[in-house]
Amino acid sequence: MTITSPHLGSSADSWTDARLLYALEEVVEQELNRHLKVAKDWMPHEYVPFSDARNFPGIFEDGEAWEKGQSPVTDIGRIALVVNLLTEDNLPSYHHEIASLFGRDGAWGTWVHRWTAEEGRHGIVMRDYLLASRAVDPDQLEQFRMTHMSEGFESDNRHSMLHSVAYVAFQELATRISHRNTGHQSGDPVCDRMLARIATDENLHMVFYRNLLKAAFELAPDLTMQAVRDVVVNFRMPGHGMPGFERAAAQMAIGEVYNMRIHHDDVLQPVLRFLKVLEIDGLGPEGLKAQEELGLFMGGLDAEASKFDERLAARKARMAARGA
């Protein structure tokens, strides 16, 4: 894909993904070094209650079948944990996507492999926790995993390096918020601590991509503005293709794990504010148009989120009345 910026040289000058990758290589190296200094290694097994584990039916004569009441995890916590883990399970596809786009050499390649290794811990510790604590039906979880991964994954933004960077800047924060709120709603302090540890990683990943996006704005503001607009307007989580995702997402919205208000206030707004996206001036016609459209979209999303807030409050009131 070839993209053109009116801010660099003559109108004949153009950016390719290859040129953008090369131009941002130094920033990637700086952010990688910063990340390695602040990131702390941790052991997944230290967050898993293995003493609670027991055999499932199978080759073990003493195997005990799974039952819902064997874990203190709440219903909404169980739903969100499955969604979050199935999302993490697709790591091989995510690695393929970003390695193909960002490359496997230099600072870009080092980051891609480091990110993959860190993300791998998340799936390991979550699955070990779920099985040891018997929080979810293990047979159903494996069936979901097989179905989800067998369908593969293709990023909505694989056509553009800038779109991909913009997407992960928001998506990493969205994942952090989803994990953190799942922990809060899980009903299990052990689960809460585990997901807080994962959320810390996701936040550092967000900072890496957010700072890279900042550099992209300085390099090619019009193109980056258009990429951010497209990503924000068309955003959807990477696990959208998993079995039963729409129903699970609706339940997570009602359970206040992840909904429209959270998406607006805790995911989109923090990144946009930090980068001062809606305040950038000196844009060309296409960049200015994208900025205006982004502002209008955010206003509309806020209005829709307010309507959702009202419906959720009314639902809570009805539930409280029934309980009384």
In sequence order, what are the residues at sequence separation of 6 or more whose Cβ sits closer than 8 angstroms to the Cβ of residue 124?
A: 44
Query: Residue 172's CB: how many other CB atoms inside 10 A?
Result: 24
- DSSP annotation of 55 reads P
Known binding residues for Fe cation: 88, 119, 122, 172, 202, 205
- DSSP annotation of 71 reads S
**Distance between CA atoms of residues 230 and 31, nearest Å:** 25
- Is there a contact between 165 and 212 (Cβ–Cβ < 8 Å)? yes
β-bridge pairing 2-3 and 15-16: antiparallel
Known binding residues: 88, 119, 122, 172, 202, 205
Q: What is the secondary structure of 75-138 as a DSSP string?
A: HHHHHHHHHHHHHHHTHHHHHHHHHHHH-SSHHHHHHHHHHHHHHHHHHHHHHHHHHHHT-S-H
